[in-house]
Amino acid sequence: MASDRPLLEVRDLRTYFFQDEGTVRAVDGAGFSVFAGRTLGIVGESGCGKSVTARSILRIVERPGRLVSGEILLRRDGVETDLARLDAGGREMRQVRGGDIALIFQEPMTSFSPVHTVGSQMIETIRLHQQLDRRAAREKAIEMFGLVGIPRPERRVDEYAFQLSGGLRQRAMIALALSCAPRILIADEPTTALDVTTQAQILELLTRLQRREGMAIILITHNLGVVAEMCDEVVVMYLGRVVERGPVDAIFHEPRHPYTRALLRSIPSIHAPVRTRLPTIAGSVPHPYNRPACCPFHPRCPDFMPGRCDQAEPALLPTGPGHQAACFLYEGARP
Amino acid sequence: MWWRFRRHRLAMLGTAVVLLFYGVVLLADFLAYADPVASEAQRSLLPPQRIHWWLNGRWEPHVYGLAGRRDPVTFKRVYTPDPSRKVPVRFVVHGFEYRLFGLIPTDRHLIGVEGARPEDTLFLLGTDEQGRDLWSRLMYGTRTSLTIGLVGVAFSLVLGVLLGGVSGLYGGITDTVIQRVIEIVRSIPTIPLWMGLAAALPNDWTVMQVYFAITVIISLVGWTELARVVRGRFLSLREEDFVTAAELAGSSQMRIIVHHLVPSFLSHIIAATTLAIPAMIISETSLSFLGLGLRPPAISWGVLLQQAQNIQALAISPWLLISAVPVIIVILALNFMGDGLRDAADPYGQ
Amino acid sequence: MLAFLTRRLVLAVLTVWAVSVLSFAVIQLPPGDYISSYIAQMSASGSFVSAQEAEALRHQYGLDRPLYVQYLRWMEMVVQGKFGMALEWGRPVSEVIGDRLWLTMAVSIAAILLTWVLALPIGIYSAVRQYSFGDYLATLVGFIGLAVPSFMLALVLMYLGFRLFNANVGGLFSDELAQAPWGWAKTWDLLKHLPLPAAILGLGGTAQLIRIMRANLLDELRKPYVVTARARGLAERQVILKYPVRVALNPFASTVGYLLPYVVSGSIIVSLVLGLPTVGPLLLRALVAQDMFLAGTIVLLLGVMTVVGTFLSDLLLMWIDPRIRLEGRR
């Protein structure tokens, strides 16, 4: 079945930023798989490398950042292409961007050029990836606008971003991203800037589109609630590394990695007794130039094992069906 | 803010240079060695003299004396350097009298020559057409040009803060009117106007009066930029919560302005003012260069450059252009300094 | 859009009025009035003007009426194109000014065009290749343009031209064509001579615009829509030129409005140094000779042309920025 083989497979991705003051290892060995029709959630605190991972996949990491090593295998028509090997500015990569993989952002207002109509930007993208003439592209744009639920799409197409309301802008951004029917949609914090109602609408829209098109979604967020609602698989990142990955149920009900456990514990619960202290994770995220060369979480880990955790970096070890955690606690454990 | 400023290396360099120049302003008399207005036609258009620092292996700074001879064509007495005469150069010597800092009478100068003959004089930068030593004139010119810059900017500042402050604080109609006035002023080409105003100054005014009038004229345009900055700061500060808090606590308007608002925009004002000085200097230099600004016997960079207007004369005596160098250096230095101040005051831009 | 236009138009009209008042002030400022200068001139050339004649002349020119009346009468004449007599030349002002005004505008506009042509690409390059050698070079040139007043630059260049090539690099026309009537040959000659004065004049403005463009573009390049454009698969050149440059162009274009007065001002002095047959040298002579009608008219005309130019650039700005066009239509 098509959904058996992953559409996109990331292996040991490393993206470093080479600055004068030091090297920031934004992504330091991340790996995960994305399947058609399913949603992968990437969670973690700010600065853990989620966004940089997304940009690395699309090869739009800006200087002084660079994809240092790793593989990004995209499967198209049965052929596997390693995006990491492609020339970032080359033709093939450009076709992948927008055509096979699309990206939407947190803030729709600034995602659109303020001096071009939203329609023109869509038409441009459409014509870039598909051989359609002006008129056909415009028709398609209007169709997409209708698909995402924008009323009177034929009028909205000629408007500017500042003329649309917040919710409509968000939908327009989704339409823009989906205009060329990408098979993978990367959504970088798509709901963080929205109020709860709009949030629900957008998530519902994304689900609907996913079902309709059978596309895969990579949902990047720090909002665990959204993850629980939308995702099929979850990847937990900390300091540029994947510390746990697995099916969403397993992650939420049986978190293995101490970091994941701490994260889940810190969600305020409506069931907790009144005046319960909100558990926090001790310590703070270390300075980007000072990443320890061992388990990244060990300074803050309640299950820290001296002599082991500060000596070597744990690989992702199996802890259940399809479930892995990078922690020495599971050395020698049976899947 | 001071710490951020220090990080800006160019700005620190600029400040150092600016301070150096203003040091010249204070010490102009000391640094000059010849009476700046003493003209001697026989010594006209002498090229700069090189100081030779060593003599037979010993440190004995000297210049070559001048030998006079009659030019066979013009029958005028012409001076040329005479290597056989070595005139010792001394430091901290006696020279013409003046008052240090305007107070202490003295006659010491930084540099000078010891020599009996009138041809044994020092011309570090040569002389102009009237035989006046350029180095000394440059020292005095620096003093005038830089102080005009300061005074002019002071006037602009007063105007700018006043109008900009009123505009920003009261808003509404007052703001709109003042804004429009500022726009109108900015749309008018300034130099023709200045020329007109400057030319209108009666010929019989004294140097001081002319100086004052020129200062007023050039400050009339610089104020627009300062007013804009002030207004911008007032507008944004007005909305700040701490102002509302002060109002709620019952402070009077005056107290709000002085105690709360002024410290916030002071740094911006300083930056904007520093950046406005170069414009003043250029204005005065331009006007005097045209002959419409300061006039002889006043000395400023522009007046010094006036002699360089004639290309033929310039071709023979290129050292007349030397006065252009301090202008460029000071403007650059002030700009660096102002940029640094501005970045330090508001690292996020306006 | 209409609101914007009307506002700029009203402002332009007000500015023209302000310029006229100021020009009138320039005419009136010097001590004594037009007639006394005229009398002085006449006596210098030997004729004698009696007291009654002087009185009659004063009455004729309305010099015995209050100032605002004089102003109105002068405006009346100006609007009809009668600018009065140029004392020193003994000819009508309009004749004396003649071509020079147009030449002044030609040099100024050439300077502005050159400024745009240079500043835009250099500014873009500087921002995109920040901290590269080219960027530092451009910044350096920018500082030179900032610090060296245009007339000084002109002086230095004239000197160098004289010294190295023994040529006079000033002037707008070659000697043969200077007096010739207008035609293709003369126009072409003008175009050949324009680049140098335009470059000198424009350097200061270019420096400023490069800095502005660079700063604005650097701001825009950080914004998400640039990343989005890249993420959509656009080629890098398109990404830069089509989007952030367009946005950064707005403040750039709005600066043009104030560039014109600056350049026109600068052209006065530079044309003196370079010996260009523009309004500059004429103005200086007029002022020195206290030929007030000539001087005042020049100031007036310069001001008016500048306002017109500024207004045109406002139209340009409006065309470029859709946010202004659509303002008010929601």
Which of A75-89, A154-168, A239-253, B121-135 has the highest average model confidence (pLDDT)? A239-253
**What is the per-residue pLDDT across C291-315, written as a single tens digit (0 to 9) for each?**
777 777 888 888 888 888 778 877 7
Secondary structure of residue A177 in the 3-state scheme: helix
Please give, rounded to a whole number of angstroms, the shortest distance from the CA of C247 to a CA of chain A. 6
**pLDDT for the residue numbered C328:** 42
DSSP letter (8 states) at residue A160:
B
When mean pLDDT is compared across A171-185, B72-86, B225-239, C230-244, the lowest value belongs to: B72-86
In this structure, are residues C213 and C119 in contact, taking their beta carbons and an 8 Å threshold?
yes
- Tell me how far apart the alpha carbons of residues C60 and A159 are, in angstroms, rounded to a whole number: 64
**What is the per-residue pLDDT across A263-307, written as a single tens digit (0 to 9) for each?**
887 777 677 677 777 777 777 777 766 666 777 777 778 777 777
Please give, rounded to a whole number of angstroms, the shortest distance from the CA of A102 to a CA of chain C. 7
Whether A42 is covered by a domain: the verdict is no
Which of A204-218, B176-190, B194-208 has the highest average model confidence (pLDDT)? A204-218
Q: How confident is the model at residue B203 (pLDDT cuts 50, 70, 90)?
A: low
* H or E stretch covering A220: strand A216-221
Q: Is the dihedral of CA C144, C150, C151, C153 positive or negative?
A: positive
Residues from chain B that touch C211, judged by Cβ atoms under 8 A, are none
Secondary structure of residue C126 in the 3-state scheme: helix
Whether a cis peptide bond, with omega within 30° of 0, leads into B326 is no
Whether A280 is covered by a domain: the verdict is yes
Which residues constitute the domain of residue A316? Answer: 245-330
Average pLDDT value over all residues in chain B: 73
- Tell me how far apart the alpha carbons of residues A135 and B324 are, in angstroms, rounded to a whole number: 63
- Residues whose CB is less than 8 angstroms from the CB of residue B280 and which lie 6 or more positions away in sequence, other chains included: B148, B149, B152, B153, B156, B218, B219, B222
Range A5-15 average pLDDT: 88
- Tell me how far apart the alpha carbons of residues A264 and A261 are, in angstroms, rounded to a whole number: 5
- Tell me how far apart the alpha carbons of residues B63 and B86 are, in angstroms, rounded to a whole number: 6
Considering only alpha carbons, which residue of chain C is nearest residue B348?
A: C219
**pLDDT for the residue numbered A39:** 92
- Whether residue A169 lies within 8 A of chain C, CB to CB, comes out as no
Whether A7 is covered by a domain: the verdict is no
**What is the per-residue pLDDT across B224-248, written as a single tens digit (0 to 9) for each?**
778 877 777 777 776 666 666 666 6
Residues from chain B that touch C282, judged by Cβ atoms under 8 A, are none
CB neighbour burial string for B127-166, b if at least 16 within 10 angstroms, e if fewer: bbeebbbbbbbbbbbbbbbbebbbbbbebbbebbbebbbb
Whether A267 is covered by a domain: the verdict is yes
The two tokens of residue A74 are 């995209």
Whether a cis peptide bond, with omega within 30° of 0, leads into B297 is yes
- Residues whose CB is less than 8 angstroms from the CB of residue A292 and which lie 6 or more positions away in sequence, other chains included: A286, A298, A299, A310
Residue with tokens 């700063």: C215
Partner-chain residue, chosen from B184, B189, B309, that has the shortest CB–CB distance to C18:
B184
Whether A287 is covered by a domain: the verdict is yes
Distances (CA, A) of B289 to A179, B294, B322: 65, 9, 14
Please give, rounded to a whole number of angstroms, the shortest distance from the CA of C59 to a CA of chain B. 24
Q: How confident is the model at residue C117 (pLDDT cuts 50, 70, 90)?
A: confident
Say if the Cβ atoms of C323 and A111 lie within 8 Å.
no
Whether A255 is covered by a domain: the verdict is yes
Rounded to 5 degrees, φ, ψ at B293 are: -95, -120
Q: Tell me which of B48 and B220 has the higher pLDDT.
A: B220
Chains in touch with C (≥3 Cβ pairs < 8 A): A, B
Partner-chain residue, chosen from A94, A124, A162, that has the shortest CB–CB distance to C323:
A162
Range B159-179 average pLDDT: 78
When mean pLDDT is compared across B252-256, B317-321, C76-80, the lowest value belongs to: B252-256
Rounded to 5 degrees, φ, ψ at A9 are: -130, 125
Q: How confident is the model at residue A234 (pLDDT cuts 50, 70, 90)?
A: very high
Range B155-180 average pLDDT: 79
| Mutation site for A-interface testing, chosen from C228, C241, C247 by largest number of A Cβ within 10 Å | C228
Rounded to 5 degrees, φ, ψ at B57 are: 80, -5
The two tokens of residue C241 are 């030129």
Say if the Cβ atoms of B195 and C146 lie within 8 Å.
no
- Tell me how far apart the alpha carbons of residues A162 and A27 are, in angstroms, rounded to a whole number: 35
| Mutation site for B-interface testing, chosen from C23, C27, C268 by largest number of B Cβ within 10 Å | C268
pLDDT of residue C112 exceeding 80, the answer is yes
pLDDT of residue C180 exceeding 80, the answer is no
Does chain A reach chain C with at least 3 CB pairs under 8 Å? yes
CB neighbour burial string for B176-202, b if at least 16 within 10 angstroms, e if fewer: eebbebbbbbbbbbbbbbbbbbbbbbe
Structural domains counted in chain A: 1
Partner-chain residue, chosen from C224, C247, C330, that has the shortest CB–CB distance to A105:
C224
pLDDT of residue C330 exceeding 50, the answer is no
Say if the Cβ atoms of C323 and A110 lie within 8 Å.
no
**pLDDT for the residue numbered B4:** 56
Which of B120-134, B178-192, C47-61 has the highest average model confidence (pLDDT)? B178-192
Whether A51 is covered by a domain: the verdict is no
Q: What number of other Cβ atoms are within 10 A of residue B19's Cβ?
A: 11
The structure's pTM equals 0.73
**Complete edge-to-edge strand list for the sheet that includes strand A39-43:** A101-104, A184-188, A216-221, A39-43, A233-238, A241-247, A323-325, A317-320
**pLDDT for the residue numbered A193:** 72
pLDDT of residue A37 exceeding 80, the answer is yes
In this structure, are residues C314 and C8 in contact, taking their beta carbons and an 8 Å threshold?
yes
Say if the Cβ atoms of C11 and B193 lie within 8 Å.
no
Residues from chain C that touch A141, judged by Cβ atoms under 8 A, are none
pLDDT of residue B349 exceeding 50, the answer is no
**pLDDT for the residue numbered B133:** 77
- Tell me how far apart the alpha carbons of residues C224 and A107 are, in angstroms, rounded to a whole number: 8
When mean pLDDT is compared across A22-36, A184-198, A308-322, B333-347, the lowest value belongs to: B333-347
CB neighbour burial string for C145-164, b if at least 16 within 10 angstroms, e if fewer: bbbbbbbbbbbbbbbebbee
Residues 38-77 of A with CB under 8 A from C: 55, 58, 60
Whether A252 is covered by a domain: the verdict is yes
B to C CB pairs, distance under 8 Å: 135
Residues from chain C that touch A113, judged by Cβ atoms under 8 A, are 225, 229, 242-243, 246-247
Does chain B reach chain A with at least 3 CB pairs under 8 Å? no
Task: Report the complex ipTM.
Answer: 0.74
pLDDT of residue C6 exceeding 60, the answer is yes
Q: How confident is the model at residue A41 (pLDDT cuts 50, 70, 90)?
A: very high
- Tell me how far apart the alpha carbons of residues B225 and B157 are, in angstroms, rounded to a whole number: 10
**pLDDT for the residue numbered A335:** 46
Q: Is the dihedral of CA B49, B51, B52, B58 positive or negative?
A: positive
Please, which residues bridge with residue B90 across strands?
B112
- Whether residue A176 lies within 8 A of chain C, CB to CB, comes out as yes
**pLDDT for the residue numbered A42:** 92
Residues from chain A that touch C231, judged by Cβ atoms under 8 A, are 58, 60, 97-98, 102-103
